[in-house]
């Protein structure tokens, strides 16, 4: 298996632009998670899905952030409009129920 | 609520030294416990896990024992290598409230010098 796939690996954009991060989970995994990692705040869970349905989005910072999972093999995290404070590494992870999570390599986002 | 507390880093050791990274937890039910490792520029990888009290997880020379009486899951390795330099995260999952997510500690950076 190729593992969790994220794209792009690096994204540099200007403040105010829309950013879309993509994730392909491991085939067969029921759960998908989006995390954000910064030096100041560490690793934060933003939202997670079970069988393509959002279960807990309490970690989404504000309305500028949205996430979708249109099918079992694809999810997006969108930021619109982006701000410099959104600069971070965004991770996607997937898992079977009651099992460990497998993380993707992350997308490093820089908002200028 | 559920929480995980790890020792502050960075931890700096010489090669072949003994490693301990402390982790304690608070949970309402009977959580599973995990150690993840993050190498520079990469995502988190599962290092080891334990699902019930007194279980010992082990992998790549690392060990951790689930201690319910002390609510701890300390990570140990007898002889560290330079290649072990990374950030280590302790985490728990508690299914009491039927929501499945991992609660992570803040991470401990380990630097091993030759």
Q: Of A38-42, A48-52, A96-100, B77-81, give the range with the top mean pLDDT.
A: B77-81
pLDDT digits (tens, 9 = 90+) for B69-87: 999 999 999 999 999 999 9
For the stretch A63-79, pLDDT in tens is 999 999 999 999 999 99
Q: What pLDDT is attached to residue B99?
A: 59
Give the model's confidence band at A102: pLDDT under 50 very low, under 70 low, under 90 confident, else very high. very high
Mutation target to probe the A interface, by most A beta carbons within 10 A, among B40, B98, B102 is B102
More confidently predicted of B96 and A26:
A26
pLDDT band at B102 (very low <50, low <70, confident <90, very high): confident
- Mutant choice from B5, B10, B44, B57 vs A, greatest count of A C-beta within 10 A: B44
Mean pLDDT of B28-45: 91
Minimal Cα distance from A34: which residue of B?
B101
Residues of chain A found within 8 Å of residue B107, distances taken between Cβ atoms: 42-43
**Measured distance between the N- and C-terminal CA atoms of chain A, rounded to whole angstroms:** 36
DSSP string, chain A: ----EEE-SEEEE-TT--EEEEEEPPTT--EEEEEEEETTTEEEEEEEEETTEEEE-TT--STTEEEEEEETTEEEEEESS--GGG-EEEEEEEE-TTS--EE---EEEEE-
Burial class (CB in 10 A: 0-12, 13-18, 19+), B84: buried
Question: pLDDT tens digits, residue range A81-92?
Answer: 999 999 999 999
pLDDT at A100 over 90: no
């Amino acid at each position: 298996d190729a593992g969790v796939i994220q794209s792009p690996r690096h994204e540099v954009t200007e403040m105010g632009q829309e950013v879309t991060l993509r994730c392909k989970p491991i085939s067969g995994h029921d759960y998908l998670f989006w995390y954000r990692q910064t030096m100041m705040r560490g690793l934060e869970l933003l939202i997670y899905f079970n069988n393509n349905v959002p279960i807990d989005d309490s970690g989404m910072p504000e309305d500028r952030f949205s996430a979708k999972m249109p099918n079992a093999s694809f999810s997006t995290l969108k930021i619109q409009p982006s701000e410099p404070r959104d600069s971070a590494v965004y991770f996607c992870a997937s898992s079977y129920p009651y099992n460990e999570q497998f993380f993707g390599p992350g997308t490093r986002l820089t908002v200028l | 609520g559920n929480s995980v507390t790890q020792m502050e880093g960075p931890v700096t050791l010489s090669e072949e030294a003994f490693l301990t990274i402390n982790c304690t937890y608070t949970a309402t039910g009977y959580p599973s416990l995990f150690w993840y490792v993050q190498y520079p520029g990469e995502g988190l990888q599962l290092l080891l896990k334990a699902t019930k009290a007194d279980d010992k997880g082990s992998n790549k020379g690392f060990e951790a024992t689930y201690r319910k009486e002390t609510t701890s899951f300390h990570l140990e390795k007898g002889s560290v290598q330079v290649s072990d330099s990374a950030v280590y995260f302790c985490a728990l999952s508690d299914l009491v409230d039927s929501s499945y997510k991992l609660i992570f500690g803040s991470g401990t950076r380990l630097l091993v010098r030759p």
